[in-house]
Structures are given as structure tokens and as C-alpha cells.
Amino acid sequence: MAPFGVDPHGWNILGDVAAGGHARNFALLAPMVREIAKLNFEGQLKTSIEEPGETQQELDFGAWQATVSYGFPQQDGRRPPGTNAAHGVALVAQSGPDEFLVTGVDASVSFHNPGRLPGMRMQILSAEEGSYDQGVWKPKRLWNGDETDRGLQFYANDPAVVRVRLGRF
């Protein structure tokens, strides 16, 4: 136990996987902490944590739903496999009526209209990988259709934040 955040027993020196996960999360989210705090205060931020045996979760944003699926590969028409040791996570924040910031670890996130399957009467207009720099979104690259057609896929070894814009028809 480390009541003051300092553990004299060297858990971090021994290569504790949890410590590496915390470092990865902080590195990914640090540039956008102000945006996360604002969206959370406004009630626009939702998270999903994989539970043992539960490989999918729904996040409700009113006019949009986000389906978070855990583990890979995710095959059409089948439930996702989940991850070893149930370690998948996702963060989805609605930054505009049809705009979201999305990130995760060993998870995919698909959007849909309530009562419809992903891809029905909706589309991804853009999916930009990037980060915030002093409160301004800086796109790094656009994700193409192969990277978005089965949901926005986030892997532990390749962390990313994606700003996605959605449209209805």
C-alpha cells in the first residue's frame, strides 16, 4: 500500500503492467485534459470498462448511440471475443451535435441512431486522428474506410484519439 503515492517496495521497477497502462493513459489524455474536464462537467463524456463476460456495451448520447465492443478479431454477425483478463476500455465524448472524441484500448466503437444498426441511415463523414494543442484540435491524419467500416478500432499498442463527424440520411 502506498498512502502517499510512493511505494518503497519497487513495484514500478519490477515492470508492473498496471503502471505502464497508467502512463499510457496519461500520455494519451494529457493534451486534452481541459476539454475532457469541460465535456465531463457538461455531461457529454461517457466511459466504458470491459467486465468479465460482457463484450459489448451501449453508451447513450440521445440522438446517437455508441456501441463499444471488446477484443479482436471482430467478425460480422458474431459477438466480439472480449480480451484476455477483461482489460478493454473506451472513452467517448460528444463535442457537438454530430461530433465525438473517441479513444480506447483493445476496443472498437461504432455509432448508430437509436433503434438502428450501425451503418443504417447514417455515415461517418470524417474520422481525424489527432490531439489538442493549447485547446486547439490538431489533426494528424484522416482514417480511411477500411479503418472505420467495422467501427473505430483502438489497440493497446497503438494509442490514438479520433474526432469523428457523423451524418444522417
Domains belonging to the chain, first-starting first, are 17-168 (2.60.220.20)
Reading the block at residue 135, the C-alpha cell is: 485547446
pTM of the prediction? 0.86
Average pLDDT on 133-138 reads: 94
User: What is the per-residue pLDDT across 54-72, written as a single tens digit (0 to 9) for each?
Assistant: 999 999 999 999 999 999 8
User: What is the per-residue pLDDT across 75-100, written as a single tens digit (0 to 9) for each?
Assistant: 777 788 888 888 899 999 999 999 99
Average pLDDT on 104-112 reads: 94
Whether the Cβ atoms of residue 92 and residue 166 lie closer than 8 Å to each other = no
Kindly report each contact of residues 55-64 with a partner whose C-beta sits within 8 Å and lies 24 or more positions away, as own/partner. 55/79, 55/80, 55/81, 55/82, 56/80, 59/92, 60/114, 61/92, 61/94, 61/100, 63/97, 63/113, 63/114, 64/94, 64/98, 64/100, 64/111, 64/112, 64/113, 64/114, 64/166
User: What is the per-residue pLDDT across 26-59, written as a single tens digit (0 to 9) for each?
Assistant: 888 998 999 999 999 999 999 999 999 999 999 9
What whole-number distance in Å separates Cα of residue 5 and Cα of residue 133?
29
Residues 6+ apart with CB under 8 A from 76: 150
Residue in 90, 83, 95 with CA at minimum distance from that of residue 67: 90
pLDDT confidence of residue 13: 55
